[in-house]
Structure 1
Amino acid sequence: MKTILITGASSGIGKATAKKFAIEGWNVIATMRSPEKENELSQLKNVLVTKLDVQDKASIQEAIKSGIEKFGTIDTVVNNAGFGILGAFEKSTDEQIQNQFSVNVFGVMDVIRAILPHFRKKQDGTIINITSQGGRVTFPTCSLYHSTKFAIEGFSESLSYELLSQNITVKIVEPGSTESNFFNAVGMAADQNITAYEEFDKIALDNWNKNDIMTSTTEEIAAVIYTAATDNKDQLRYMAGRDTELYFGIRNEQDQHYVNYMRKAYIPEILVKQNK
């Protein structure tokens, strides 16, 4: 029986992924910052719910140790934990910038560094990094979030070449808009002294809600993650969601065409004219 460790498993994609693998007969190490609050996954016999905060290296090591002690090994790690900060970049604070990268980039790197000795020792293992459609295409008001996801895309691709030498596989899953609590965990750029972007932020976010019509369920995204973990393919990237396929298709046709599409879809013409 194979074993998977999942970060950010308290809700959303992480929780759906934990359930999916448990149903499919895997041992699951479902990690989260507050495991004492979890009362659903903990009822499953092949699931270990334990603490892991990607900003706490000691908790990462302890979760891996606990998982190996209970199940004997870890075969796959899914780096899912993450959050977003929305709003014009100039309004973001130093603390917000540091925190965004601490969780979405450095947290992923720290989990990978912690599991690699185990994977190298057994010369086997799979790392699945959950990025986003926002790791290859961009939306207004999301510059901080996009920068972290673009970073993980590049990091994962390069890492995949390095780890081939150790028979370790790296894969990327790119979810689109998902019915999860992601937006409940989103923060807004917090510098209240800068008011120049108020109209832009409001219109851009309103247009985002208006255009967000191809939302996937967390179960649909979890199914793609399961495929990535079990298909034995050399494939690096896995698109997840119809909106991801749409935006990637437009972007791949021609880069400027994509930029023009996004400007028309999300930025009112009146604002463009005002700034010419």
Structure 2
Amino acid sequence: MSKTILITGAGSGIGKATAIHFQKQGWNVIATMRSPEKENELKELENVHSEKLDVLDLESIHVAIQNGIKKFGKIDTLLNNAGYGAYGPLESFPRENIIKQFNTNVIGLMDVTKAIIPHFRANKDGVIVNISSIGGQMTFALGSLYHGTKFAVEGISESLHYEMKEIGVKVKVVEPGFIATDFGGRSFDFQSGNIEDYQLIINALMKQWQNPNNTVSPPSLVAEVIYNSVTDGTNQLRYRAGDDADYLLDARKKMTDTEFFEMMNSQMEK
């Protein structure tokens, strides 16, 4: 019997690539997104079922899970992928943007997870995969909101790992580096605030992000790492995705705070 994965944020980027990858491996896929009527490619794939799910809407979460179970009988894996990045000086963000960032990346993730746990507990089986980032272990300038949420995802996942073990459920965290997605488009909220004191660091960060020498991995690479995390049969918690993830996270672990800050500042100065 084929296994089933439910994916949030499956309309583009990592979520869509993961839906395609798991479908190719013979899995059933519940591809959830805010506007499933706008997605055409996934609808053409066998054993892929699209559902409306907005992580900010509790009712849509429960309906999508129940409809997925009705469609395929059982859900074996949850991929918490939906999210976006807010960048800019903290001073420049309206409070509603701050709340939205944490509601989407943290509270939404917890709501979806909490909603599916009873199903996993009843089956004494399941895998929860949370998409974090290298930004859940280290930071870039102007990312206090985004990094705050990803550090939270890391802590939630690590703690959840203990209690889920009691009911036969595994928890996995995937930490991508720079990925070629639309993160800079509809999944990105940048607020400069037009405060002159921050312009130098804003300009430096923009130049660094636009550097053609930066290593950027395709979403398909992350999909492969996600698939491996689900199927490797181990209790490993964290998985990196991308050569840059390996380089930067290794550097962060080896360096003192001062050394790492100096390295990052020198990169922006270039």
What TM-score does the superposition give when structure 1 sets the normalisation length? Answer: 0.94
Tell whether the 8 Å contact from 1:9 to 1:32 is kept in structure 2 after alignment. yes
Aligned AA for 2:188?
A: V
Is the Cα–Cα contact under 8 Å of residues 140 and 266 in structure 1 kept in the other structure?
Answer: no
Offset at 1:264? Answer: 1.3
User: 2:196: which partner in 1?
Assistant: 195
Aligned to 2:38: 37
- Give the superposition deviation at 1:190: 5.9
Q: Which residue of 2 aligns with 1:110?
A: 111
CA contact (8 A) 2:56 2:103 kept: yes
Choose 126-135 or 136-145, whichever is displaced more.
Answer: 136-145
For 1:271, the equivalent position in structure 2 comes to none
Which one-letter code corresponds to 1:103 in the other structure?
T
Deviation string, structure 1 residues 151-181 (Cα, Å, up to 9, x no partner): 0001100010111111111000001101111
CA contact under 8 A between 2:4 and 2:72: conserved in structure 1?
A: yes
**Which residue is equivalent to 1:262?**
264
> Structure 1: where are the runs of 5+ without partners?
269-276
Offset from partner CA, 1:217-256 (integer Å, 9 cap, x none): 1111100000001000110000000110010111111233
Question: Which one-letter code corresponds to 1:265 in the other structure?
Answer: Q
Tell me the percent identity: 48
Residue 251 of structure 1 is matched in structure 2 by 252
Where in structure 2 are there 5+ consecutive unaligned residues?
A: none
Distance 1:168 1:212, change over 3 A: farther
Aligned partners of 1:153 and 1:89: how far apart in 2? Answer: 22
Per the TM alignment, residue 85 of structure 1 is displaced from its structure 2 partner at its CA by: 1.0
Aligned residue in 2 for 1:94: 95
Q: Secondary structure at the match of 1:187?
A: strand
| 1:196 to partner: Cα distance | 2.3
Q: Within 1, Cα distance between the matches of 2:244 and 2:128?
A: 25
- 2:67 maps to what in 1? 66
Question: Is contact 1:28–1:48 with CA below 8 Å preserved after alignment?
Answer: yes
User: What is the DSSP-based 3-state SS (H/G/I as helix, E as strand, rest coil) of the residue aligned with 1:258?
Assistant: helix
| Structure 1 vs Structure 2 CA RMSD | 1.3
Q: How much has 1:44 moved relative to structure 2?
A: 1.0
Q: Is the 8 A contact 1:130 1:174 kept in 2?
A: yes
CA deviation vs aligned residue, 1:59-78 (integer Å, no higher than 9, x gap): 00000001000000000000
- Closer, same or farther: CA 96–212 of 1 in aligned 2, 3 Å: farther
**Residue identity in the other structure for 1:264:** S
Structure 2 counterpart SS, 1:128: strand
Q: Residue 215 of structure 2 aligns to a residue in which SS?
A: coil
Aligned residues of 2:124 and 2:168 also touching (Cα < 8 A) = yes
Give the equivalent residue in structure 1 for 2:11: 10
2:144 paired residue number: 143
Equivalent positions of 1:117-136 (< 5 A) are 117-136=118-137
TM-aligned CA distance change 1:12 to 1:255, over 3 Å:
same
1:181-205: per-residue Cα shift (whole Å, max 9, x none)? Answer: 111121112645x332123212222
How many positions carry a matched residue from both structures?
267
The ranges of structure 1 where at least 4 consecutive aligned residues each deviate by more than 4 angstroms after the TM superposition are: none
- Secondary structure of 2:210's partner? helix
SS in structure 2 of the partner of residue 226 of structure 1: helix
CA distance in structure 1 between the partners assigned to 2:82 and 2:168 by the alignment: 25
